[in-house]
Structure formats: C-alpha cells, structure tokens
Amino acid sequence: MTVAILGANGQLGRALARRLPLQGHAVLPLARPEWDVADTGIVGRLVELRPSALVNAAAMTNVDGCEREPERASQVNGQGAEHVARAAAELGIPLVHVSTDYVFDGLNNETPYAEDAPTNPLSVYGASKLDGEQRVLAAYPQAQIARTAWLYGLGGRNFVTRMVQLADERGSLSIVTTEVGNPTFCDDLADAIGQLMARPAAGIFHLVNEGYASRWEFARAILAQAGRGHVPVQPIDHYPRPARPPAFAPLANTRAAALGIRLRPWPDALAAYFAALTEA
C-alpha cells in the first residue's frame, strides 16, 4: 500500500515513516504548512493524491495549550480529523486515526479501560480528541481509531527526554504517583498501526505497550535506563498545571489482541528505545 501520513513531522509521524516501509508499504509523509488538517481544502487535495491508505497522526498535542486555545484545539483535533475521514471515505481506503487515553477521566477506576468503556474527558484536549473520534466514525464508519498513551519516540521531545534533562539540570526530581498510564514507544505503535491497517476490522482499538505505571515509576525506570539511577525521584501526589490529566487511565488492548496484534511490555520497549538511541 501507499500510505499517506498526516502529521509526518511529529514523533509518531516520523516513526511511521521509518517503520511502515519495513512492512513493505510505500509512504507519503505529509506535514504542515502544505498539509494542514484544519484547512477544508485538504479533503479534495488528499483525494487527488490518491494514496491507498491514510494515517492521521496530526494533532494539537500541547495539552495545556489546548486549555488556552480551545477553538484551535477543536479545529485541528475535531474538524481536522473529520476532513481526513471524509477524504478516506471518498476514496474508500483504510484510515487509522490516532486518539488518546485523555478521552477517559480515570476517576473511581481500578482496572484498565476496554475499548467500549464510557468516555468522560476532563480537559479541552481530551474533549477535542473525543470529538475527533466521533466525527471520524460518523464520516467513515469503516475507519479505525487507534487510542494510545504516553508516547515517546526517537528524535521527539517527550516525558523521557524531559526526565533525563531535568535530572541533569536539577540533580533530583519530584514526580506524581497519582497519574497512571501506559508508556508507549512510537516504533511499536507504528508497527501495530501497520498491522491493523491491513485488517478489515473497524472501530476503536487500544494500542499501547503492555502493562502500566505511575509517572513516578516510569521516571525511575527512565533514569535507570539512562544511567542516572542514582538521581533521587521524590514521590508527590499533585503537580499544578492548567489541564487535568486522567488519574488512573491505563488502556486495555482487547480488540487488536483478538486479531493477534499486541505490543511488548513497556519496560522492554523502553530498553529498546535506549538501545536504539545508543546505536544512533
């Protein structure tokens, strides 16, 4: 297949552009400003491009920025998602649209969320991504929504790079134990998206590395892998910020697993990420 990737300069977009060719696909990396998903004209231009599949990895991902600019969040994460779905519907081609654990509130919750669990976003970002999911499925019921969480990828700026940077700058960290999720390596997600795209199954899928951790546990694992295991990490229960993240919101991969698509445990994926960094 020739897979057009929207948001191709993001950390997931770059992982898709590197990994999908390993499954025999050609890739068309599309990035803004030329390929702005919020622009309605993108529908016709994608149809003219005639890819044989689409992955939408474009999003306004600055979670706190979405609280300050809710209209922009809605244009990109809501309407933008619909534009891509309308193009896929017109072409009748596979579409994987990427979404997030922020569609859940993570409150009064003790087990990972299955794909059909009730949603209740607490933030503008989460609400805009849920709006995107609903618009995509309304415009194109054959679409695949891949919800994921806590992404880190080669060349990206993310929680992993931030922890290493803060450890070096400050010599100690204070990290919350009250936020729990699935750390997920972009390369593993990209591979899973490639596998999912080739299946005729539609609807919502949870694609995350297996297992879950608190931010504090994840930070400790990062520093251990980064050769900074001696840096103390204080557990705290609150970190002030504009957007409210879900508290306990790990995702359970049940639907993709039933198709044989599973991601390895998160500690193994984190080790693979650091090994790849060293090689690079």
Is 223 an interacting residue with respect to ligand NAP (CB under 6 A)? no
By CB under 6 A, name the one of 4, 16, 43, 58 that touches ligand NAP.
58
Residue 96 dihedral angles phi and psi, to the nearest 5°: -110, 120
Is residue 127 within the footprint of ligand NAP (CB under 6 A)? no
Which of 15, 209, 275, 255 shows the shortest CA–CA distance to 115? 255
* CB contact at 8 A, 183 and 152: yes
Considering beta carbons, is residue 20 or 60 the nearer one to ligand NAP? Answer: 60
**Which one of residues 57, 139, 163, 222 is an interface residue with ligand NAP (CB under 6 A)?**
57
Distances (CA, A) of 239 to 157, 207, 234, 249, 261: 20, 27, 12, 17, 35
Q: 24 or 99: whose CB is closer to ligand NAP?
A: 99
Residue for token pair 């709006």: 131
Site for ligand NAP in 153-172 (CB under 6 A): 156
Q: Which of 125, 140, 152, 212 is catalytic?
A: 125
263 neighbors 210 (Cβ within 8 angstroms): yes
Considering only 4, 16, 28, 37, the residue that binds ligand NAP (CB under 6 A) is 37
Taking the least distance from each CB to ligand NAP, the nearer of 154 and 224 is: 154
Q: Is the CB of 161 or the CB of 232 nearer to ligand NAP?
A: 161
Residue 280: CB atoms within 10 Å? 7
Number of Cβ within a 10 Å radius of residue 198: 14
CA atoms within 13 A on the CB side of 267: 8
Give yes or no for residue 32 binding ligand NAP (CB under 6 A): yes
Q: Which is nearer to ligand NAP, 148 or 253 (CB)?
A: 148
Q: 135-154: which residues touch ligand NAP (CB under 6 A)? A: 148-151
Phi, psi of 167 (to 5 degrees): -60, -40
Does the protein bind ligand NAP through residue 100 (CB under 6 A)? yes
Q: Can 125 be counted among the known catalytic residues?
A: yes
β-pair type (53-56, 2-6): parallel
Which position has the token pair 């977009």? 13
Binder among 7, 121, 126, 267 for ligand NAP (CB under 6 A): 7
Annotated catalytic residues are 125
Where on the chain is the footprint of ligand NAP (CB under 6 A)? 6-7, 9-13, 32, 35-38, 57-61, 76, 80, 98, 100, 129, 148-151, 156
